[in-house]
Amino acid sequence: MDSGTARERILILRKRLEEHNYRYYVLADPLVSDFEYDRLMEELIGLEREFPEHFDPASPSQRVGSDISREFTQVRHRYPMLSLGNTYSPEELAEFDRRTRKSVEGEFEYVCELKYDGVAISLTYEEGVLTRAVTRGDGEQGDDVTFNVRTIRSVPLRLKGESYPSLLEARGEILMPRRGFEKLNEEREQKGENLFANPRNAAAGTLKIQNSSVVAGRPLDCIVFGIMGEGLPFDLHYENLVRAGEWGFKVSEHTRKCNSLKEVYNFIDHWEKNRSKLPFDIDGVVIKLNDFKLHRLLGYTAKTPRWAISYKFPAERAATKLLSVDFQVGRTGAITPVANLEPVSLAGTTVRRASLHNEEQIRLHDIHTEDTVYVEKGGDIIPKIVGADTSKRVDGSRPVEYIRNCPACGTALARVPGEAKHYCPAQNTCPPQILGRIEHFVSRRAMNINMAGATAKLLVEQGLVADVGDLYSLKTEDLMQLERFALRSSQNLIKSIEQSKKAHWSRLLYALGIRFVGETVARKVAEAFPSAGRLMDAGMDELHAVDEVGEKIAASVTGYFSVESNRNIIDKLRRSGVTMEADGPEVDNAGDKLTGKKFVISGTFLRHSREGLKAIIERNGGKNISAVSPNVDFIIAGDNMGPSKLQKAKELNIPVISEEQFEDMLES
């Protein structure tokens, strides 16, 4: 491969990996298995090493993906939460062992642990009391989810005994057992809500719920796999884990010390064969050196420890009969073929449906009706068909035909050049698209309207809502005509809709569901075009100049606003009083009203983003402070304010004011 060809491949790999990073770490909605992702990353690293002239400090190979959510306070880790290097074969593991022995004199012990398929968490204990729980985030900082973690019964709120250090950090994995996951999905299906794809997604989604009482009702579990801090009882990993169990942590009974690579192989082989017998998902084994002195000796690379590695299991595969193929319509009009299968046991669950992705994949795998097909399920993805057993093909069977018209509304399908999926272009008349866009619009990360999927479906079916603009015309008496709606529930929904009018302009832009405009892009575009009017009049060149907005996104945005029905929706929202501008009007208040005053901002807000509040404070002569101290004059508190900040504010007698009180302060 010459340098020019390598550059083209490197750029393709970087683009794919960035998208997978975003979907995995931010949206918790992965499109590929860990195995597929890691192989892409290995290929990129290999090419960048072979062709160093194409080095880029912003390459996905130079950083760890982030799951940081702006709805939570971000906290910097005391000790970085680094990811592990991966191996997939005994030969690769033997190479890790050889590298280690070159640097270590004499014999040493390995510790083998299950690699849980959940969400990494850092638990801080001060004087034996849980004070903070933080997600891994980007490895350097993560989300403070203490309120939610406190509801998990396997997480001790106070440690047992007296031998633990005064400041202790436990590293663990929050996961959802399969049985609890299946029950949760059954309940969501009965309510007409979207189902979680797998237990890991369910655990990740639950941790990011703002209402901790909802989290308390979810079957989360937490297994601790590491202890950090000064003054630990041992300089050995395994022995500290055993002691952690005595302190009240849930530690795995399956963790083993191994004195040779052969014992490590035996451990891996056992769990690769028996992982389905566990009550929760694992996707491999973690191998660590036991002695902390060797940890310090071997040290770290930029992203991974040299004294630990993971062995990833290949995705499990099963063969079953293809019964039929359904074609589903998503909220953006994307058509997804889904195979209905004879039930088959796979990775500890019963699989009845699997994705066929798109027409190209159906042709690639040569899928025929009534075929015996191979179904694969990585630890964190929806099952997919990866091939057919042609030796068992039924005589007279025919290739699966991809549809040419929308299964919901009959409109002829279209295919965007360069994309694999087909789309139904009837976005404002196709029922599944109408419902999907409404469900997206009301979701927590969009307009945060307290409406279940079943309610949205009912509103559409009863003709009360034809687009998102109609939500703001609903009245209490309209809702009381619906099944399961009484006066109070109707009033609560109307109140929630009314409150959503104050949502930040960037959230409205994301809520509109414009193709390719996710949360990050919506924030960037909203900053560049601080009102709906300015964005609607923007041209391709203006949009393309915005950071992270490429030609495809720019074309999607201009295309959306060129459709008359979409402009009518914007007009409905404007006339209803929905916020259509960024935090711009406060510029008029700029002056010296807050000179000398120091503020701490904590929580989430309806009228402003946290960045917007900080800008207002600075424009008016005030100063933003990150931590609560005696020097702080006011704390502006929104929903889910950090408990430690609130407690410290009370101790220091610092006034805690609301968003509305802060606005009054500016006006007075």
Using DSSP, state whether 652 is helix, strand or coil. Answer: helix
Q: Where are the alpha helices (DSSP H) in 514-563?
A: 519-528, 532-536, 540-544, 551-562
Tokens of 157: 């709120």
* Residue 657 Cα to chain centre, angstroms: 31
Nearest-angstrom CA–CA distance, 69 and 65: 12
Among 102, 115, 377, 502, which one carries the catalytic annotation? 115
588 contacts: CB under 8 Å, gap ≥ 6: none
Which of 34, 109, 85 is closest to 264 using CA atoms? Answer: 109
Nearest-angstrom CA–CA distance, 157 and 34: 33
Please list the residues that pair with 291 across neighbouring strands.
236
Nearest-angstrom CA–CA distance, 490 and 484: 10
Query: Hey, what amino acid is at 220?
Result: L
Beta carbons of 389 and 371 less than 8 angstroms apart: yes
Nearest-angstrom CA–CA distance, 491 and 501: 16
Tokens of 304: 């991974």
Beta carbons of 197 and 384 less than 8 angstroms apart: no
Please list the residues that pair with 228 across neighbouring strands.
169
What is the pairing mode between strands 74-76 and 141-143? Answer: antiparallel
Tokens of 392: 């068992």
Centre a 10 Å sphere on the Cβ of residue 480 and count the other Cβ atoms it contains. Answer: 13
- Write out the H or E segment, with its range, that includes residue 510: helix 505-511
Q: Residue 457 catalytic?
A: no
Beta carbons of 48 and 60 less than 8 angstroms apart: no
Task: Count CA atoms closer than 13 A to 31's CA, side-chain side.
Answer: 10
Which of 130, 289, 346 is closest to 222 using CA atoms? Answer: 130
Tokens of 152: 């998990």
Centre a 10 Å sphere on the Cβ of residue 548 and count the other Cβ atoms it contains. Answer: 11
Beta carbons of 601 and 536 less than 8 angstroms apart: no
Nearest-angstrom CA–CA distance, 453 and 191: 8
Nearest-angstrom CA–CA distance, 643 and 32: 37
Q: Which residue has the tokens 């500290």?
A: 240
Nearest-angstrom CA–CA distance, 528 and 531: 9
Residue 461 phi, psi (nearest 5): -65, -35
Catalytic residues: 115
